[in-house]
A = this chain, B = another copy of it.
Amino acid sequence: MTRSARADRLLAECRLIAEMSEEVERTTRRFLTPPVAAVHEHLRHRMKALGMAVTVDAVGNLRGIWQPEYAGSPRFVLGSHIDTVPNAGAFDGVLGVVMALELVASAQAAALPLALEVIAFSEEEGVRFGVPFLGSRAVAGRFDPQLLALRDLEGVPVETAIRDFGLDPAQIDQASVAHDAVGYLEIHIEQGPVLEAEGLQLGVVTGIVGQTRCELTFSGHANHAGTTPMHLRSDAMTAAAEWILAVENLALESDGAFIATVGKALAKPNASNVIAGSVCLSLDLRSERDDLRDQAVFELLERASAIARRRGLICVGKIQMQQPAVSMDEQMTAYLAESVEASGFPVRRLPSGAGHDAMVMATRLPTAMLFLRSPGGISHHPDESVVAEDLDAALLVAELFLSRIARIQDNKPL
């Protein structure tokens, strides 16, 4: 494995940006809060130094365009987000932006006949207003004006946040990506343990999994733990336990076709000497295949009913959210996989279990996504890290990918 000075430089740049925060000694940077202006200032200098034309659109995405004299107007888009969760790491999102700028420099050095637009999306995490992708929705031309009325915990609406940042919400329509854009590539940390567990540096994302969230409540009788014999109980805790194991078993049996998690449990009265009268559980089920996801949720709700019936309890389930899977573009992803292979790395295709701007951009442009291994699977945490050699590997792959796009672009539209 190689390790270049530029990898170290980019990692240092991510760490520098991590200091631009709403909090002291913690990285927290929500949509259009003051430290976002500092990040814009930093990136604007970087873009201008690369000779790019820089603008901020009406939802606060910072956009730089490199238009080589020798290239036609069609452009390729690169990017990721610059907002963070509270007490974040330094690489989730920002890494994809600084790597995109490095790829502009490489393209310039290689005199690639390709126009490049780099977008630092203003919002992906959904922390401040509870709804994610505010930035990429606007670029994809899918920003619902009702989103402007969402309020943060202080009661500030999205619309006011935009105005306070010096932008005009009436201009959001114009944030939509230019019609001559031919594709989008996002580089992002995996935020999971799969690549590391398999000893791999890079992954080619096949799609973003679909997700169903349910809430399920088992209701029995909250009797005295000392005076109620085992056979006369309607214990919501043991019913809940049986179902939690059923969820795990079904997911294990699916052999990766879906994953399922019960992360939340609330028992009532939740006292050591009282049999639980009710237990409310969450279910989070994700799959690349919407049909398998629907089938699994149905099966698990059926099993919950059967457990409740057999144990003399009542079970009520409620589907709270259903989000279909989004596939990456087949052709664009094939180019990316070929670039991985041509760079001498094994091609590992994997779905993303988390949402990304690429999921929204895929509704507008042929989109591909490249993952870098996440040491320890850790993200959304100050311990989040990136291996410098993986960054080099990803740059190499992306450079090959862009030169391939440029070649095709030169000859015919994609």
Which residues of the other chain, B, contact A194 by a CB distance below 8 angstroms? 227, 229, 232
Taking a contact as CB atoms closer than 8 A, the residue among B223, B263, B269, B276 that contacts A267 in the complex is: B263
Contact A265–B267 (Cβ < 8 Å): yes
Contact A227–B190 (Cβ < 8 Å): yes
Which residues of the other chain, B, contact A151 by a CB distance below 8 angstroms? none
List A178-202 residues whose CB lies under 8 Å from chain B: 190-194, 197
B-contacting 9-mer, from A18-26, A36-44, A244-252, A329-337: A244-252
**C-alpha spacing A274/B261, complex, angstroms:** 8
Q: Mark A275-292, 1 if CB is under 8 A from B, else 0.
A: 110010011101000000
Taking a contact as CB atoms closer than 8 A, the residue among B197, B223, B238, B261 that contacts A245 in the complex is: B238
**C-alpha spacing A279/B235, complex, angstroms:** 19
Instruction: Say yes or no: is A387 at the interface (Cβ < 8 Å to chain B).
Output: no
Taking a contact as CB atoms closer than 8 A, the residue among B224, B264, B354, B380 that contacts A191 in the complex is: B224
- In angstroms, how far is the closest chain B Cβ from the Cβ of A406? 32
Taking a contact as CB atoms closer than 8 A, the residue among B235, B272, B282 that contacts A282 in the complex is: B272
**C-alpha spacing A234/B271, complex, angstroms:** 26
Which residues of the other chain, B, contact A379 by a CB distance below 8 angstroms? 224, 227
Which residues of the other chain, B, contact A230 by a CB distance below 8 angstroms? 248, 251-252, 256, 259-260
Which residues of the other chain, B, contact A231 by a CB distance below 8 angstroms? 252
Measured CB to CB, the nearest residue on chain B to A371 is: B227
Q: What is the count of identical protomers in the complex?
A: 2
Instruction: Say yes or no: is A353 at the interface (Cβ < 8 Å to chain B).
Output: yes
Contact B272–A224 (Cβ < 8 Å): no
Instruction: Say yes or no: is A367 at the interface (Cβ < 8 Å to chain B).
Output: no
Contacts A/B (CB < 8 Å), 16 sampled: A192-B223, A194-B232, A197-B232, A223-B377, A226-B286, A227-B354, A227-B377, A235-B248, A237-B265, A238-B244, A238-B262, A241-B244, A261-B273, A263-B267, A266-B270, A272-B283
Which residues of the other chain, B, contact A271 by a CB distance below 8 angstroms? 263-264
Question: Count the A residues whose beta carbon is within 8 Å of the partner chain — how many?
Answer: 59
Measured CB to CB, the nearest residue on chain B to A352 is: B227
Taking a contact as CB atoms closer than 8 A, the residue among B238, B274, B282 that contacts A248 in the complex is: B238
Measured CB to CB, the nearest residue on chain B to A267 is: B265
Residue with the highest number of chain B CB atoms closer than 10 Å, among A228, A251, A260: A228
- In angstroms, how far is the closest chain B Cβ from the Cβ of A301? 16
Which residues of the other chain, B, contact A251 by a CB distance below 8 angstroms? 230
- In angstroms, how far is the closest chain B Cβ from the Cβ of A274? 5
Contact B275–A261 (Cβ < 8 Å): yes
Instruction: Say yes or no: is A209 at the interface (Cβ < 8 Å to chain B).
Output: yes
Instruction: Say yes or no: is A393 at the interface (Cβ < 8 Å to chain B).
Output: no
**C-alpha spacing A245/B230, complex, angstroms:** 12
- Ranked nearest first, the 6 interchain pairs of A and B with the lowest CB-CB distance are A192-B227, A226-B353, A272-B282, A241-B244, A225-B261, A227-B353
Measured CB to CB, the nearest residue on chain B to A192 is: B227
Taking a contact as CB atoms closer than 8 A, the residue among B191, B237, B263 that contacts A262 in the complex is: B237
Contact B263–A223 (Cβ < 8 Å): no
Which residues of the other chain, B, contact A385 by a CB distance below 8 angstroms? none
- In angstroms, how far is the closest chain B Cβ from the Cβ of A303? 14
- In angstroms, how far is the closest chain B Cβ from the Cβ of A318? 12
With contacts A241-B242, A245-B245 known, what are 7 further pairs, Cβ within 8 A? Answer: A224-B353, A226-B284, A235-B248, A261-B274, A263-B269, A263-B275, A266-B270
**C-alpha spacing A242/B231, complex, angstroms:** 20
Contact A232–B275 (Cβ < 8 Å): no
Instruction: Say yes or no: is A213 at the interface (Cβ < 8 Å to chain B).
Output: yes
Contact A224–B263 (Cβ < 8 Å): no
Instruction: Say yes or no: is A240 at the interface (Cβ < 8 Å to chain B).
Output: yes
Q: Mark A56-76, 1 if CB is under 8 A from B, else 0.
A: 000000000000000000000
